[in-house]
Structure 1
Amino acid sequence: MQKITFRIGAFSVSVSYLQQRNTSGLYYYRRAIPSPLRHHYNGKRELVYSLKTKDLNAASQKAQELALQHNNEFELLRHNITPPPVFTIPPASPLPAELVPAPAEEQPITLDEIKTNALKSYLGNKKKTTEIARCFGYFSELPPILSHIKKRDVLRVVESLKTDHQLKTATIKKAVGFISRQVKLTLQLHDSGIPNPFAGVPFDNIKKDAEKRHTFEAVELQKLKETIRKKSGLITAQIVGLLYDTGCRNAEIGGLKLEDIKLDTPIPHLVIKPHEQRGLKNDNSERLIPLTGMSLEFAKIVTAAAQPGQVHALPATSKITNLKVIVALRL
């Protein structure tokens, strides 16, 4: 069962069935439906309502009001009494003393269900949903039912990812950590005592197998400049040209729109902001980048080559999130 704890003066209050979405910041009410009653809800496993607020106090009061109404609704259904047909979110009111916990989950929890719930939390975030699919894909050979998965099974897959698939330890640890958090959330939601097989997986050689990045020498940088100027008509050369002197990420340049290139200003610059086809790594990534030297030169090349009605600065890369541009240039 999901809980959030907050303080009121000198008191700590735990609120059940409450979850905050990472993408919107809105609070949601989530509660498992007891197995014997699911046929009254068209077979649904849980009830989910948006509380339409980012304020924890307001969300807590609404969640507990909903929980009390559902306690009553479940009790009526157990005695074959039809509850009121219209269910609405009530206005906020003083916090009740406590809530009756939801009945223990009887149906098996699956990894696919946990993955689905994780994807719902990041709807609209293409980069995150792709990452979630990749993380769970690493462990697709595990038994589908959570209670059938043992920690030794997870360790076996981890070892295979390192030896057979040549994944770095840091990459595997990140995936295991994310799945572990999602499993924990689901177990709390269903008030289940099933052990979390992804929790506490040891990683002794973290970062020891990471590849050290090569620092370009002056002669290599000069060669790079010469090469991209010779091949300035290529998309890959234009990407490197815009990366030069800006410090932007590959995907930030690949997802630029023409309107993001500002040349008719006292200080020419790029506007780095999220778009529907490409998000940003974090909130702090939204920024203005001055154009100087090589980047200014290629910003002019890109805008001069734009066709009427063109939206993206580099149309062929508008959906690319990871560009291997240096290799593509075959320096």
Structure 2
Amino acid sequence: MSETISRPFTFVKEGIFYFSRRVPNELKSHYTSPRIAFSLRTKSPKIAEARARKVADQLDEYWYHLRCQDVQMPGKHMLRQQGSIPAQPNIQAPDVSFSSVLLSEAVSVYLGLKGKGRSITFHRAAERSCGYVIDACGDKHLEAYTRADANAFRDALIARGLSGSSITRVFGTVRAVINFAASEQGLTLNNPFTGVYYDRNAGVSERTPFPQEAIASVQARSREVDDDLRWLVALVSDTGMRLAEAAGLAREDILQDDEKSLFARVRPLV
């Protein structure tokens, strides 16, 4: 068969995902076919799933209103004229046209492919950064974003009180998501979130080193209790490495050749 069921409300034909859903029996009189089917215009399972779910939700809402129209009006027999029945609201059929991908869909594509095996912080950074864009500019198709949107996004980040370095990280993540999703979809676009001006030094303060007396005090306290937590504190204070780097070391990685130092040398990690 050329068609195989892959995800809810979808099937695949020649590599393209299609939406498919049966029309409820009580609503078939409103349709010319017992089944609704059309192309989702994508080969990506993630995008197809998001689009199919959106259309299915729209259909559920639309069918609810159709059912309401077909229900007998309470007290209808008491009306003076049949034509005096209040008109039903004009409910529009769901829009099933797509030009590319929404930013929210782009995040799903990005994390679904590049997020495999990555840390939870990687996923949260993409979701949070693009969530800022959606809050400031709306969830648009990628090619619909403009430089005005990017500038409004920058202003929103500044209003949040983010420092210049934090804004740089957020913009970098947004650019990466858009560029990756556009490449996957075969879209050619100029990323408006590139080259946006802002003060990269705003809110950034220079870090001063800890006084040697404070380091010596921490190391002295670490010698008082012989356990793994104190070893970790002493190792970080003596080497300056990050906490995650120190916590991932094994005892055989530590080479102590200076009795004056708690941990003088660490085996290079490959």
TM-score range, shorter chain: 0.5 to 0.7
Distance in 2 separating the partners of 1:295 and 1:145: 53
Pairwise CA distance, 1:220: 1.9
Pairwise CA distance, 1:124: 0.3
TM-score normalised to the size of structure 2? 0.53
How well do the aligned residues superpose, as a CA RMSD in angstroms? Answer: 3.6
The aligned residue for residue 138 of structure 1 is 132
Pairwise CA distance, 1:213: 0.9
Matched, 1:163 2:159: yes
Distance in 2 separating the partners of 1:151 and 1:116: 24
Pairwise CA distance, 1:106: 4.5
Q: Deviations over 1:226-283 (max 9, x none)?
A: 3333465583x44221213333211122344xxx211xxxxxx34xxxxxxxxxxxxx
Distance in 2 separating the partners of 1:227 and 1:140: 49
TM-score normalised to the size of structure 1? 0.44
Which has a greater percent of helix?
Answer: 2
Q: Aligned ranges for residues 168-317 of structure 1 at < 5 Å?
A: 168-203=163-198, 205-230=199-224, 235=229, 237-256=230-249, 260-262=250-252, 269-270=253-254, 290-291=255-256, 293-295=261-263
Q: What is the aligned length?
A: 177
Q: 1:255 to 1:43 in 2, by over 3 A?
A: farther
Gaps (5+ residues) in structure 1?
A: 1-32, 49-104, 263-268, 271-289, 297-331
Q: 1:38 to 1:233 in 2, by over 3 A?
A: closer
Pairwise CA distance, 1:36: 11
Pairwise CA distance, 1:110: 0.9
Q: Is the deviation greater in 224-233 or in 207-216? A: 224-233
SS at match of 1:46: coil
Residue identity in the other structure for 2:233: V
Gaps (5+ residues) in structure 2?
A: 1-11, 21-38, 46-96, 265-270
Distance in 2 separating the partners of 1:178 and 1:125: 14
Residue identity in the other structure for 2:210: F
**1:176, 1:198 within 8 Å by CA — same for their partners in 2?**
yes
Q: 1:159 to 1:239 in 2, by over 3 A?
A: farther
Q: Deviations over 1:146-174 (max 9, x none)?
A: 3443333332332232332x322122112
The aligned residue for residue 71 of structure 2 is none
Pairwise CA distance, 1:219: 1.8
